[in-house]
Chains A and B, each alone.
Chain A
Amino acid sequence: MATASRHKPPLLLLFAGGGVALLVLVALFAPVIAPYDPLAQSIIARLKGPSAAHWLGTDQFGRDLLSRILHGLRASLAISAAAVAIALAIGGTIGLAAAYYRGWTERILMRLMDILFAFPVMLLAIGIIAMLGPGSGPTAFAIATVYTPIFARLLRGPALVITESDYVSGAKAIGASDFRILFRHVLPNLASVVLVQTSLLLSAAILVEASLSFLGLGTQPPAPSLGTMLSEGRNFLMLSPWSAIFSGFAILLLAFALNLLGDVLRDMLDPRLRGEK
């Protein structure tokens, strides 16, 4: 670690990690921090710019933008995190099983993953929501489905290396169960890959979730959602651009911090990159 940090200043890690921690805290405590009810309308304070009463201004119904953005961050993060957690659990298990059992199990599982992977991400997500109907639940399910093959493919490779190692043969020799070997011996060694990829895919999931909401397929109004706010704000762009500006910036901030964190962690943890540059 000492050598790694000499090559990559920990400053960026602090910057990215601190940013992610701050955004997660803000999302968690949104109901406490938000100065107003995100659904409370006010006819006299519509489409206002930033002011002392409304730091980021108000939308077309006079709802406080800061409060809506804080709740929107919470919704985006919750949906994306749920989706990525499901994708990691299912895709990760498939990747591990494929690497451990090899043979036909591997061939069939990975072929199934190839087929899901063949669809462009947004298109498959849109197709799934077209079937299930719009909403936060279908959005989370759709994102989980598109990221499942990605986790399976990402984890299979490193898992292959570990299952061939001596200590896994040793565990097998003393009669440890498959379940125990996979989850006690193989999985912990994949922690760094999982950490890096979860962070990167969470960032991508935030963008997909925002896109789907922007298209009207995700979280449904009046619930606060960053993508929906951006799409509504677009209709009032010439009157008051604040809603569009701030909601999009919030999406960028969240996706950026998570992606940078994954990126910095990858540089630090990836043994192939260590010592280069």
Chain B
Amino acid sequence: MRFLRQRFVDLLVVMFGVSILTFLMIRLIPGDAVAIMLGANTEVTPERIAELRARLGLDQPMLVQYLQWMRDVLAGNLGLSIWTKRPVIEEIAAHMWPTIQLTLLSLALGAGLAVPLGVAMARLRGKGWDAALQVGSVVGLTIPSFWLGIMMILALTAFAPGLQVLGYVPFSEDPAGNLVRLVLPAIALALPILANLARLVRSAMLDALQQDYIRTARAKGVPEGSILFKHALRNALIPFVTSAGIMTGYLLGGAIVVEQVFAIPGLGRLILGAIAERNYPLVQATILVITFTFVLVNFVVDLLYAAIDPRVRL
């Protein structure tokens, strides 16, 4: 119970800090943020500056601004888009599904393939294999996802020119088209995760296979498959879950870049479009929503961790 309470307090502190930093974003812009925002689309006049400043509440004292902003955020009101004057929460809702789907698909792909791959890699032992697998996994870790994406598009236009892989269609409208379009971006995004997790599984397996409990299992005649998958693999579970949680941050950030390569209208395109037209309330809200999601995912991972590992007392 103490662990849970402590983690919950940590969560609140971090969310509070994230909210302050995100709140300060517009206020810390060097120069007159309002003039900069207006300059993207219209002629800047003192009346327009005064009007937008009042609309964004920037004419109030800082503390009042923060409290009002926080009250609005908690009520689900993340402000209005500067140009369309639509609530930014609607813009975010309209763009979040492609990103959520891409992130989950990549996580499933990376984590799902990492287990069999890592177990297979654990069987390849010796100096030569160690070095080859190390080099291979470092390539997987460092291959730029956006380059890999572009190279896959290039290869596909050479071998299957008719196939439409760019853009996005909702799953509910065209399930096959949806998956065909998401599979390449998911591969590009998942490769570093696969490399990282497969390697982790391999070293945890090698570690476990030297332990006494595995020798005991062998001695009493447990089949080899069961030793590998049931006894040894369990050893990899805890670092696996922790890493997978941290990876969500990479995925949410990487999705912004990969969406750009495959023309997927997700949160990445939304935030980049918002930056281009200096629609700061929208940039701010998107960052807040994604970061809160990431913080909550890690909180859940910590709880899972406690549930899996009996050494962490609840």
Chain A residues near B (Cβ < 8 Å): 8-9, 11-12, 111-112, 114-116, 118-124, 126-127, 129-132, 203, 207, 210-211, 214-217, 230, 234, 237-238, 241, 244-245, 248-249, 251-252, 255-256, 259-260, 263-264, 277
Contact = CB atoms under 8 A, between A and B. Distances in A.
Interface in B139-169: 139, 141-144, 146-147, 150-151, 153-154, 157
B139 A256 contact: yes
A122 B290 CA distance: 11
B256 A215 contact: yes
A234 B151 CA distance: 10
Contact of A12 (B10, B135, B153, B295): B135
A14 B139 CA distance: 17
Given A120-B291, A211-B257, A248 B150 contact: yes
Contacts of A248: 144, 146-147, 150-151
B21 interface: yes
Q: Which 5 pairs between the two chains have the least Cβ-Cβ distance?
A: A122-B253, A248-B147, A115-B17, A255-B142, A120-B249
Give the interface residue-count category, chain B: 35 or more
Nearest to A208: B253
20 contacts: A9-B131, A119-B291, A120-B249, A120-B290, A123-B253, A130-B280, A131-B28, A203-B142, A207-B142, A210-B146, A215-B260, A216-B272, A230-B146, A230-B147, A237-B153, A245-B154, A248-B146, A248-B150, A252-B139, A260-B134
Contacts of A121: 249-250, 253
Interface string B244-278: 00000110111011001100000000011001000
Contacts of B295: 118
Given A11-B131, A259-B142, A123 B257 contact: no
B146 A252 contact: no
A115 B134 contact: no
B260 A214 contact: yes
B206 A277 contact: yes
B64 interface: no
A234 B258 CA distance: 13
B138 interface: yes
A134 B260 CA distance: 17
Given A118-B18, A127-B283, 14 more contacts: A11-B131, A114-B10, A121-B250, A122-B252, A207-B142, A210-B144, A211-B254, A214-B146, A215-B272, A234-B261, A237-B150, A237-B157, A248-B144, A259-B138
Given A123-B287, A127-B287, A211 B144 contact: yes
A259 B192 CA distance: 13
B4 interface: no
B14 interface: yes
A115 B21 contact: yes
A130 B275 contact: yes
A234 B127 CA distance: 40
Contact of A277 (B130, B135, B249): B130
A106 to B, nearest CB: 15
Contacts of A256: 138-139, 142-143
Given A217-B275, A255-B144, A112 B17 contact: yes
Given A211-B257, A248-B151, A127 B14 contact: no
A260 B134 CA distance: 8
A157 B150 CA distance: 40
Contact of B17 (A114, A120, A245): A114
Chain A interface mostly: helix
A215 B150 CA distance: 14
Contacts of B21: 115-116, 119
A234 B153 CA distance: 10
B18 A115 contact: yes
Contact of A252 (B127, B147, B150): B147
Contact of A260 (B135, B157, B249): B135
A114 B14 CA distance: 7
Given A9-B127, A120-B249, A126 B256 contact: yes
Contacts of B154: 237, 241, 244-245
A12 B141 CA distance: 17
A211 B188 CA distance: 14
Interface string B278-296: 0010010001001100110
A127 B253 CA distance: 11
A277 B130 CA distance: 10
B300 interface: no
A131 B31 CA distance: 10
Interface in B89-134: 127, 130-131, 134
A241 B157 CA distance: 12
B30 A132 contact: yes
A12 B136 CA distance: 12
A118 B142 contact: no
A214 B257 contact: yes
Nearest to B279: A130
B25 A122 contact: no
Given A130-B280, A230-B147, A260 B291 contact: no
Contacts of B74: none
A115 B253 contact: no
